């Protein structure tokens, strides 16, 4: 695709390119210990390969696991049994990696030059405080107030007109409100989770028309639980969408949690200049949940017709992902060290304004949507909140963390089940 460069993403670009390079290096070096370095028909020298000359010689090989060594031995034995030379495999690996690299660059270049631009107008604002706004998408009937995460822009729920839960729900008989946290200014950079819940969110609830159905997405779900417990007079029902609770639940969760908590001391130097965790650092943390996932999806994007609806939706989602928000330093410490490291919500040790936050204390109706393919919030973590809510309606949604709310199948995966629950209140 040709045309002017419109974007800098995917952010942080050096990290994503570096991860793709590491994948190629691991693939080639794992073969190296079994391959001769000279002779007719052998792979080119490292200097002739399409990556930096400082990478290891084929014969050096990086350390690989015992399972990896066994698999390499099996492959080479199969080659020998079939009369094939091992170096033919090396050449095939290099050719495959080169094709993958070309597809990755093509996908990223196509994204950076795609003509899509989000033009959905903002709805009326019925309340503001600092950088935060309460957006009113209209509709007649009971009010539903959506609370997004603090680390991403709120418009994931209003991505494009045809993929907007906020613009779809008013036509189904509900007045729809969205809390846009906004960019943290000087005051917000000193906020704790208590400031956001017992301050800003509660005042947004007070400005909303009557008691609302409070729906929290991802991190916003934890804030919604705390606010509902503090202000049951303003909240008539509670919906949690892809919301974590037990941060140590799931097969790999304890390791991931310890890793996140261990990062806090090193992140202090990044937070000190501005009082917030920078956007690119947050993006890097998310990227490490699936290190090779970004490269894989851009290779797939390279195969799409850039004029197709799928390509347009891909670009809209990527623009939202790259349009992040810094996280105030006190909140970053609480989330990484308190939520992930010490699992304070799951252990019932998280407090807001001195009050323990326990879903079991919520006496009203509740709905919990758990994406079955969520890489960000393990389903077991979200299920732990459902287990503590009395009589909660639990819905297992087909899709991932973002696809459930804004993907091509979001209406079937989440919107319709959520609507059915709201109508049954």
The domain locations on the chain are 1-113+298-322, 125-251+326-423
Distance between CA atoms of 111 and 254, rounded to whole angstroms? 35
CA 270 from centroid of its chain's CA atoms: 21
pLDDT tens-digit map of 164-197: 999 999 999 999 999 999 999 999 999 999 999 9
Q: Is 114 left (phi over 0), alpha (psi -120 to 50) or beta?
A: beta
Average pLDDT over residues 231-243: 98
Give me the residues paired with residue 394 across strands. Answer: 368
pLDDT tens-digit map of 305-359: 999 999 999 999 999 999 999 999 999 999 999 999 999 999 999 999 999 999 9
What is the pTM (predicted TM-score) of this model?
0.86
pLDDT score for 30 = 57
pLDDT at 82 over 90: no
pLDDT score for 68 = 66
User: Is the CB of residue 187 less than 8 Å from the CB of residue 195?
Assistant: no
Q: How confident is the model at residue 43 (pLDDT cuts 50, 70, 90)?
A: very low
pLDDT score for 44 = 44
pLDDT tens-digit map of 347-397: 999 999 999 999 999 999 999 999 999 999 999 999 999 999 998 999 999
Burial class (CB in 10 A: 0-12, 13-18, 19+), 385: buried
Average pLDDT over residues 64-69: 67
- The CATH code that applies to domain 125-251+326-423 is 3.40.50.1820
DSSP 8-state code for residue 44: P
Distance between CA atoms of 252 and 95, rounded to whole angstroms? 34
pLDDT score for 211 = 97
Q: DSSP for 295-312, please give it.
A: HHHHHHHHTS-TTSHHHH
- Close Cβ partners of 64 (under 8 Å, ≥ 6 residues apart): 30, 72
> What Rg, from alpha-carbon coordinates, does the chain have?
24
Residues written for the chain: 425
Distance between CA atoms of 340 and 12, rounded to whole angstroms? 23
User: Is the CB of residue 162 less than 8 Å from the CB of residue 236?
Assistant: no
Average pLDDT over residues 278-288: 93
% helix, strand, coil for the chain, step of 5: 50, 10, 40
| The Cα angle at residue 303 between residues 324 and 307, in degrees rounded to 5 | 75
| The Cα angle at residue 347 between residues 269 and 382, in degrees rounded to 5 | 85
Tell me if residue 305 falls in helix, strand or coil. coil
pLDDT score for 327 = 98
Lowest mean per-residue pLDDT among 25-39, 211-225, 277-291 = 25-39
């Amino acid at each position: 695709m040709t045309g002017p460069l419109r974007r800098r993403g995917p952010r942080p670009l050096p990290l994503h390119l570096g991860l793709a390079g590491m994948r190629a290096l691991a693939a080639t070096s794992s073969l190296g210990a079994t391959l001769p370095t000279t002779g007719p028909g052998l792979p080119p020298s490292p200097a002739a390969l399409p990556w930096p000359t400082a990478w290891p010689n084929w014969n050096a090989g990086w350390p690989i696991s015992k399972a990896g060594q066994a698999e390499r031995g099996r492959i080479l034995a199969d080659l020998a049994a079939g009369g094939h030379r091992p170096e033919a495999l090396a050449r095939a690996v290099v050719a495959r990696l080169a094709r993958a690299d070309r597809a990755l660059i093509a996908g990223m270049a196509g994204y950076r030059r795609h003509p899509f631009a989000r033009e959905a107008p903002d709805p009326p604002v019925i309340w503001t405080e600092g950088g935060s706004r309460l957006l009113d998408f209209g509709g007649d009937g009971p009010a539903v107030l959506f609370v997004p995460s603090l680390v991403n822009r709120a418009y994931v729920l209003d991505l494009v007109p045809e993929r907007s839960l906020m613009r779809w729900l008013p036509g189904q008989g509900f007045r729809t409100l969205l809390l846009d946290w906004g960019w943290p200014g000087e005051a917000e950079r000193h906020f704790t989770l208590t400031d956001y819940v017992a301050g800003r969110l509660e005042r947004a609830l007070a400005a909303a028309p009557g008691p609302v159905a409070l729906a929290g997405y991802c991190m916003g779900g934890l804030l919604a639980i705390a606010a509902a417990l503090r202000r049951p007079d303003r909240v008539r029902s509670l919906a949690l969408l892809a919301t974590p609770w037990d941060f140590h639940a799931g097969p790999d969760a304890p390791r991931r949690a310890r890793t996140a908590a261990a990062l806090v001391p090193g992140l202090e130097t990044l937070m000190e200049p501005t009082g917030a965790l920078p956007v690119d650092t947050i993006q890097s943390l998310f990227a490490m949940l699936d290190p090779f996932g970004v490269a894989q999806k851009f290779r797939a994007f390279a195969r799409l017709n850039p004029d197709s609806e799928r390509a347009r939706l891909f670009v809209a989602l990527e623009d939202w992902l790259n349009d992040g928000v810094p996280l105030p330093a006190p909140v970053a410490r609480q989330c990484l060290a308190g939520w992930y490291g010490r699992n304070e919500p799951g252990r019932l040790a998280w407090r807001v304004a001195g009050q323990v936050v326990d879903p079991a204390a919520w006496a009203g109706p509740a709905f919990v949507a758990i994406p079955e393919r969520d890489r960000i919030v393990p389903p077991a973590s979200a299920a732990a909140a459902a287990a503590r809510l009395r009589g909660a309606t639990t819905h297992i949604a087909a899709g991932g963390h973002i696809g459930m709310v804004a993907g091509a199948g979001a209406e079937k995966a989440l919107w319709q089940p959520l609507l059915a629950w709201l109508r049954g209140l």
